[in-house]
Amino acid sequence: MEQKKVRRFAKISLLVILLQMFCWGCWDQRDVNNLDIITVLGFDRITDEDGLDKWQVSSFVMQAGKSENTGGGSGATEVKPELVWRGKGLTIPEAILDFSKRSPRFPFFADTYSVIIGERAAKERLLEIVDYLDRLREYRPGSFVMIAKGDAAPLFETEPEDAITVSRDLKDSAQNTADSTGIARGVKLMDFTSNLLSTDRDPVAPEIKLIKPKEKKGERLAGPPKAVLVEGLAVFKDDKWVGWLNKEEAVGYDLLTNKINKGDITIRAEKAGEYFTFLIEKSKPTLKATLNDEKLNIKVGIDVKGRIIEDNGVDLAPGEIDQVEHTLSEQIGAMAMHTIETVRGYGSDCLGFSEELHRYSPNDWKKIKSHWRDTYLNAKVDVEVNVSIENTGRLGQRLEMKK
């Protein structure tokens, strides 16, 4: 009898636990429908009509419970899945209140994919933005940070190209497209904040810009009239934006700082006046920083593996591969050095050279801690690249017409 009671009690307890699990989350649809789900936030500094410098905050809002079209048949009215709200204020909370007060719903930031910071805001008041986001209770630190060329606001007037919404387009571009091609690098808020507050490294973030696609299908544009492109990197010195890296320099940054084991990064190389295309499939950088008489020496090694996808008349016979690899090593090394020179020209150490010394030689770091940036800017930097061609295609040699 006692065993039956125990079994019955166990079954009831299990049922209660299962019911609690099913009740967690969005258990009340009315509560969800009372939320304005913010998917993207944009921050700008503007001079308003009254002459005062203010914050302008833009947002994409996806209202829960809204379908993509209403009505039925051919008379259905299309409803955009995202709305654009914009507000102004002397403080960031005041600007957000300016647009959120126009809606009966509460702004909800837990599903914010991306944060776009305008050029002026990134240069003048970056810490205020990061501090505000860090204080939001429901904000996710895994959101992507992007820096707009110009103001962030115009980017909220675009339309998606490859996704249902612009916010999803932005997330996919930062997370996948930019990383896989090497023309940018997706940066999450938590990593950006960590480097921003670091005493030995400066942050970077992907550049986002407004474009007007020109591809046509018949007499009409094949895509939207205005779209966004994530390409290049924004460079920071301390808490201020100081300049840009173009897409080639962004590839150099990627090779210097990241272990690449996915995606296809294309390098256009030259041999004997002929251009050919090399596809980087894997790369691994190594970095060593040493201090001699308070002079910093940096040695960078980059091991690259890839394949030739277009020879354009370059001889790829087995006996010529070593020479092609040497040519590629020199040109990729030059690309990396150009990136280093550009970054140092901005006075920034977003490449982590000083961080390397701090991490592995703390006693040497103490010697230059008070003037580490000057020491870094005068450091001797050597870059050595070792390229290995894994594949030259099925042909193994170039095609030639019979005569």
Residue-level pLDDT at 368: 95
DSSP, collapsed to helix, strand or coil, labels residue 88 as strand
Instruction: Give the start-to-end residue ranges of the domains of the chain.
Output: 29-245, 247-403
Assigned token pair, 55: 């914050």
| From 87-96, 117-126, 178-187, the region with the lowest mean pLDDT | 178-187
pLDDT tier for residue 310 given thresholds of 50, 70 and 90: low
Residue-level pLDDT at 71: 43
Distance of CA 316 to the CA centre of its chain: 36
Q: Are 167 and 60 in contact (CB under 8 A)?
A: yes
The span from the CA of 339 to the CA of 334, in Å, is: 9
Max distance between CA atoms of the chain, in angstroms, equals 99
pLDDT tens-digit series, residues 311-338:
666 666 667 788 889 989 999 999 999 9
Q: Which residues contact 6 (CB under 8 A, 6 or more apart)?
A: none
Residue-level pLDDT at 67: 42
pLDDT tier for residue 343 given thresholds of 50, 70 and 90: very high
Q: How far apart are the first and last CA of the chain?
A: 99
Rounded mean pLDDT, 167-176: 77
| From 77-91, 139-153, 219-233, the region with the lowest mean pLDDT | 219-233
DSSP letter, residue 176? I
Q: pTM of the entire structure? A: 0.83
The span from the CA of 206 to the CA of 187, in Å, is: 7
Residue-level pLDDT at 64: 57
Residue-level pLDDT at 330: 93
Residue-level pLDDT at 70: 41
Instruction: Report the number of secondary-structure helices (H) and strands (E) in the chain.
Output: 13, 17
The CATH number of domain 247-403 is 3.30.300.210: yes
Residue-level pLDDT at 387: 94
DSSP, collapsed to helix, strand or coil, labels residue 111 as coil
Rounded mean pLDDT, 274-299: 90
pLDDT tens-digit series, residues 121-158:
999 999 999 999 998 888 888 899 999 999 999 999 88
pLDDT tens-digit series, residues 23-55:
444 444 446 667 888 999 999 999 999 999 999
pLDDT tier for residue 272 given thresholds of 50, 70 and 90: low
Phi first, then psi, for residue 102 (nearest 5°) are -80, -5
Residue-level pLDDT at 402: 46
Distance of CA 279 to the CA centre of its chain: 21
Q: Are 55 and 118 in contact (CB under 8 A)?
A: no
Show the DSSP H helices in 138-177 as ranges.
166-172
Q: Are 95 and 72 in contact (CB under 8 A)?
A: no
pLDDT tier for residue 252 given thresholds of 50, 70 and 90: very high
Closest listed residue to residue 312, CA positions, set 276, 336, 272 = 276
- Between 164 and 100, the more confident residue is 100
For 169, other C-beta atoms within 10 Å of its C-beta total 23
- Share the mean pLDDT of the chain: 82
Rounded mean pLDDT, 197-218: 81
DSSP letter, residue 106? E
